[in-house]
Amino acid sequence: MNELVSKAQKAKELTGLLGASSTEEKNKALVKISKALLSQIPYILKENQKDLDAGRSNGFSEGLLDRLMLSETRIKDMASALTQLAELDDPVGGVTFEDTRPNGLKLKRVRVPLGVIGMIYEARPNVTVDAASLCLKTGNAVILRGSSSAIHSNKALVHVIHLGLLESSIPKEAVQLIEDTSRETAEKMFKLNDYLDVLIPRGGASLIQSVVEKASVPVLETGVGNCHIFIDDTAEHSMALDILINAKTQRPSVCNACETVLVHEEWAKLHFSSLVNSLITHGVELRGDDHAVRLDSRIVNATEEDWATEFLNLTLAVKIVTSVEDAISHINKYGSKHSEAIISENSNHVEKFFTFVDAAVLYHNASTRFTDGFEFGFGAEIGISTQKLHARGPMGLEALTSSKYIILGNGQIRS
């Protein structure tokens, strides 16, 4: 039997036991893994170096190398995230509905683990530890499939996770890495409905697109963020600038960064040059519609594709709009249903924006950069859902659970 199927089968066999594991047992495992990480820093760095060397000789960009790189600090951060996770409430077993029916049946709906989770991700070794620990905390078994460019790092991290698990009562097969990083194996994973309960892709738009298109296993779609900020006619000048600069430049490579600013024409009349000045000072390159280009010659013409692009760098699309309705219809046409903000002092416009924009997270007078499980107070995050089923927006521990109805009777039959 091949590696994927035999590991997936093993994971499935464990689901009952993992679901029945106590919060204490799971937390102990997390703490043991945290300790194992701290004690194995030199080994992890040595293995990570192999991936970095290969990446460099394959001409990886600095950004990509940075995501791939582990350091003593980064490993210590992972270790401390694990002990923090151990302190969070365990959602498993929580009762989300209770009722006694007229016929005496007692109904209860309780949270249970999803079962076996397949993670498919790119060259970010931190996802290995993140995903493994969140799945452990929620009693799920996880099958990790990272990219070939991080294979040494991932193998080392999973080895260290297993060292931790061996000192706990949780079997090490709760966390398994698929070492065969071929595309064929990934595509087999998409169709492994007999063993996997859900697939979570983490990475760029094309990876996520491919999983959504090809998978028959249910998918939790995460992450692509083509986020907009709409500066309304009544927007307070300095607040609008501060929020836009923050959302665009504080960390441009992440999904909750701003990719297009929509500026109300009335506001633009008074403040457009100061906005453009400030953006250019922060190194932002602007691509605009005809109206924006007319207002400021430092802006180059945007293409149709630019409106739909998640730039993930310091490029920003700019469009002058005539109304809140105009802004809403642009966002619903080009947005990726992630995070959208309105800067306005007009409560009718805010209400309209909240009602008609179709996205996971909507902001009034705040930066889109807050869309994040930690900023939301969830204490953890497995990704940001941009789909509508199951979970929307930042997904914390609860998103990694399903439910079960438990019904107590005393002989009831249906008439």
Q: Within 375-404, which residues bind its own copies (CB under 8 A)?
A: 375-377, 387-390, 392-393, 402-404
Interface with its own copies includes 66 (CB under 8 A)? no
CB under 8 A: which stretch of 57-65, 76-84, 166-174, 244-252 binds its own copies? 244-252
Looking only at residues 182 through 211 of this chain, which bind its own copies when binding is defined by CB under 8 A?
A: 191, 193, 197-198
Tell me the sheet residues that pair with 342.
230, 364
Token pair, residue 400, equals 């990694």
Among residues 236, 265, 266, 296, the one that binds its own copies under rule CB under 8 A = 236
- From the list 400, 389, 401, the residue with the least C-alpha distance to 337 is 389
Interface with its own copies includes 347 (CB under 8 A)? no
Looking only at residues 75 through 114 of this chain, which bind its own copies when binding is defined by CB under 8 A?
A: 99, 101, 105, 107, 109, 114
Compute and round to an integer the Cα radius of gyration of the chain.
24
Of the two residues 309 and 365, which places its CB atom closer to its own copies in the complex? 365
- Number of neighbouring beta carbons within 10 Å of residue 152: 20
Of the two residues 225 and 393, which places its CB atom closer to its own copies in the complex? 393
Of the two residues 136 and 160, which places its CB atom closer to its own copies in the complex? 136
* Shortest reach from residue 220's CB to its own copies, in Å: 7
CB under 8 Å to 353, separation ≥6 — which residues?
230, 324, 327, 328, 340, 342, 344, 362, 364
Of the two residues 95 and 107, which places its CB atom closer to its own copies in the complex? 107
Rounded to whole angstroms, the Cα distance separating 359 from 53 reads 40
Among residues 6, 182, 216, 281, the one that binds its own copies under rule CB under 8 A = 216
Interface with its own copies includes 15 (CB under 8 A)? yes
Alpha-helix runs per DSSP H in 167-204: 183-190
Of the two residues 35 and 109, which places its CB atom closer to its own copies in the complex? 109
Token pair, residue 384, equals 């940001």
Of the two residues 58 and 415, which places its CB atom closer to its own copies in the complex? 415
Of the two residues 41 and 376, which places its CB atom closer to its own copies in the complex? 376
Among residues 168, 252, 369, 381, the one that binds its own copies under rule CB under 8 A = 369
Answer for the pair 258, 230: CB distance below 8 angstroms, yes or no. no
- From the list 222, 231, 225, the residue with the least C-alpha distance to 252 is 225
Q: How far does Cα 206 stand from its chain's mean position?
A: 15
User: Which phi and psi angles does 390 have, rounded to 5°?
Assistant: 70, -65
x/- site string to its own copies, residues 151 to 170, per CB under 8 A?
--------------------
Q: Is the dihedral of CA 192, 197, 202, 207 positive or negative?
A: positive
* Shortest reach from residue 97's CB to its own copies, in Å: 9
